[in-house]
Chains A and B, each alone.
Chain A
Amino acid sequence: EAGVTQSPTHLIKTRGQQATLRCSPISGHTSVYWYQQALGLGLQFLLWYDEGEERNRGNFPPRFSGRQFPNYSSELNVNALELEDSALYLCASSLAGQAKPLGEQYFGPGTRLTVT
């Protein structure tokens, strides 16, 4: 069974540009989560999508946004990039959702975003 996949592996952008990161969940998983792992800040929750809807978001500005497609894959967009957005962005998927008890999350390998 294929795990969570993310693309691209690495992404280099200039300050002010936009970045798009992609995630494909494990087959059968309907929930997708995004986390930011920045140096010195640890892992922080960004966004949760379930059944195509944004269900929860962490303490991040609105320039961090995303969506979930009908096939449950997801996209994270970061607009007006700032230097401090440089981080490893991890996507996770889960069977958990609004109507199900919290389940374990399975993580992808991440996308390393570098903003110069």
Chain B
Amino acid sequence: AQSVTQPDIHITVSEGASLELRCNYSYGATPYLFWYVQSPGQGLQLLLKYFSGDTLVQGIKGFEAEFKRSQSSFNLRKPSVHWSDAAEYFCAVGDSGYALNFGKGTSLLVTP
């Protein structure tokens, strides 16, 4: 069965610093991969997705992610973090049943 692991439960980054959130997946075939962001009390907003093709995908709000099949990873990056980026970030893999399997999430804190 497919699964997603986000090794970091909490991450603290200074405003203006770079960010990398880790995501590892377990899936037999080519995965459909997603990153979502959830602000407190809100639903999930799609940041970016990978279905096929170029392994470096660009998303909204200046985020990007790189699919590395050899490492079974899909890490999310941002070169310069803003205070408004503080939120919960979820990596997800889509399965053949069309459901999304989510990681446990990484809570991002941005300090001044």
Contact = CB atoms under 8 A, between A and B. Distances in A.
B105 A107 contact: no
Nearest to B103: A42
A96 B92 CA distance: 16
Interface stretch (B20-28, B42-50, B75-83): B42-50
A64 interface: no
Interface residues on A, range: 20 to 34
Which of B97, B99, B102, B103 counts the most A-chain CB atoms under 10 A from its CB?
B99
Contact of B43 (A33, A50, A90, A102): A90
A111 to B, nearest CB: 10
Contact of B45 (A33, A42, A107, A110): A107
B43 A107 contact: yes
Which of B32, B45, B98, B100 counts the most A-chain CB atoms under 10 A from its CB?
B98
Interface residues on B, range: 20 to 34
Contacts of B100: 33, 35, 43, 45, 92, 105
B99 A58 contact: yes
A90 to B, nearest CB: 6
B34 interface: yes
B63 interface: no
9 contacts: A45-B100, A45-B101, A48-B97, A48-B99, A58-B99, A90-B43, A101-B51, A105-B46, A107-B45
Given A31-B98, A33-B99, 7 more contacts: A43-B105, A44-B102, A45-B99, A90-B44, A92-B100, A102-B51, A107-B44
List 8 A-B pairs, minimum CB-CB distance, nearest first.
A45-B99, A43-B102, A107-B43, A107-B44, A56-B97, A109-B43, A102-B94, A42-B104
